[in-house]
Chain A
Amino acid sequence: GAGVSQTPSNKVTEKGKYVELRCDPISGHTALYWYRQSLGQGPEFLIYFQGTGAADDSGLPNDRFFAVRPEGSVSTLKIQRTERGDSAVYLCASSLTQGHQETQYFGPGTRLLVL
């Protein structure tokens, strides 16, 4: 079946603009994660959804970042008043809730460049 997909694959925007990044998880996966990866670094956790609710948003850097998953499937990460420091690859992952054996399946990411 299809894996995790993310759109757009690349996004260039200007400082101060608003952007939305979309994630389509694997069908039937109840858990969805957003991570951010800066150049030369490993991914850093942003937010985790179980179903429709944000179970843990402790990784969101500030209130300019917000994410939703209204129907428990597709998720959108929203960034307001973008800053140059927001430039990174934004990765989405999904998983079945399988306790300690959980494997997260990652999408290809959205490369965001803020000019």
Chain B
Amino acid sequence: KQEVTQIPAALSVPEGENLVLNCSFTDSAIYNLQWFRQDPGKGLTSLLLIQSSQREQTSGRLNASLDKSSGRSTLYIAASQPGDSATYLCAVRGSARQLTFGSGTQLTVLP
């Protein structure tokens, strides 16, 4: 059974810092990996999707990497802003259609 772990569970940084969120998964037989953002009381917003054949994806200040063989992904956020404060969730998709999620990293960017 696939298990997804995210470290750290919570992170607080001053505005302007670059930061890295970590995600690991136990079964490397994945089709893709996604990073989501969740704001309090709201649904999930997809940030980046990396196919199993890809090594990284970039969108603006966000860069996600994937090392499928070692079961790891990182989300890099450059020049963090208070508006980046949210919970970030990592999810993997295997041969079944559903996503398996980690527990998330709660990020607070202090002004």
The interface of chain A, by Cβ under 8 A from chain B, is 4, 31, 33, 35, 40-45, 48, 55-56, 59, 91, 93, 100-109
Contacts and interface: CB of A to CB of B under 8 A. Distances in A.
Q: How would you classify the secondary structure of chain B's contact residues: helix, strand, loop or mixed?
A: strand
B71 interface: no
A43 B101 contact: yes
Interface size class, chain B: 20 to 34
Interface of B: 4, 31-32, 34, 36, 41-46, 49, 51-52, 89, 91, 93, 96-104
A4 B42 CA distance: 12
Contacts, number: 61
A5 B36 CA distance: 18
B104 A102 contact: no
B99 A45 contact: yes
Name the 9 nearest CB pairs between A and B, nearest first.
A42-B101, A45-B98, A106-B43, A106-B44, A108-B43, A100-B31, A42-B103, A43-B101, A107-B43
